[in-house]
Amino acid sequence: MVAYTPEERLVGGAVNVQLKKNMNNSILAAPRFLGLNQACKEQIALEQRFTTNKFEPQADGKLRLKIKSAGVAAELTAEQIVGFFLSKLRSYYETAGIQTKDVVISIPTYASNVERQALLDATEIAGLKCLRIINESTAICLNYGFFRKADLDEN
């Protein structure tokens, strides 16, 4: 979740606090729109059920969301919104002392190549270098293997 208020941009849990009073500038489920364009009418109609905002097709075929950020009207693509989220995530890690621009990102198994490319575009917008995009199921297995080694039988 990302929200744009007159004073700042918010990410994650901070969006919940102001969601009811700033519904038009609070963006939920932006990754659902990654890689979609105006030709994907059925998919857009399906995804619109999960968000309060309306991504509208533009002349170039891309979908954009109209918001007000610091009192200025702006049109954002899903890639830009996800890119902002990733840059905020990077700043959290830098605050914790982890300095890197290299990331590995998971994506649902059913994601198309267009959606994967849109995610790569979002990482570029965030100033990150995506080393690899892996399926969520693979990420879950790797996480289990890394952090639950002691639970596994040696054989």
DSSP 32-90: GGTT-BTT-HHHHHHHGGG-SS--EE-TTSBEEEEEEETTEEEEE-HHHHHHHHHHHHH
Q: Looking at the domain assignment, is residue 43 inside a domain?
A: yes
113-125 and 78-95 helices cross at what angle (nearest 10)? 50
Q: How confident is the model at residue 71 (pLDDT cuts 50, 70, 90)?
A: confident
* Domain shared by 68 and 92, yes or no: no
What are the pLDDT digits (tens) for 127-141? 999 999 999 988 888
**Could you list the residue range(s) of the whole structural domain that residue 55 is in?**
2-78
The predicted pLDDT at position 121 comes to: 93
Annotate 61-100 with b (16+ C-beta within 10 A) or e (fewer): ebbbbebeeeeeeeebbbbbbbbbbbbeebeeeeeeeeee
Instruction: Tell whether the model's pLDDT for residue 125 goes beyond 90.
Output: yes
- Boundary (domain end) residue, out of 59, 78, 97: 78
* Domain shared by 74 and 91, yes or no: no
Q: What is the CATH number of the domain that holds 107?
A: 3.30.420.40
What are the pLDDT digits (tens) for 2-38? 887 777 788 877 788 887 787 777 887 788 888 888 8
Please give the Cα distance from 113 to 150 (Å, whole number): 37
| Chain centroid offset of residue 91 CA | 15
Mean pLDDT of the chain: 84
Share of the chain above pLDDT 90, in %: 18
Instruction: Determine which helix (DSSP H) or strand (DSSP E) holds 103, and give its type and residue range.
Output: strand 102-107
* Domain shared by 96 and 131, yes or no: yes
Given a contact cutoff of 8 angstroms between Cβ atoms, the answer to whether 138 and 113 are in contact is: no
Tokens 């509208």: give the residue.
Answer: 56
Q: Looking at the domain assignment, is residue 8 inside a domain?
A: yes
- Boundary (domain end) residue, out of 53, 78, 103: 78
Per-residue tokens: 8 = 């700042």
Per-residue tokens: 148 = 């639950």
Q: Looking at the domain assignment, is residue 155 inside a domain?
A: no
Please give the Cα distance from 96 to 122 (Å, whole number): 23
The predicted pLDDT at position 133 comes to: 93
Q: What is the CATH number of the domain that holds 9?
A: 3.30.30.30
Give the predicted TM-score (pTM) of the model: 0.79
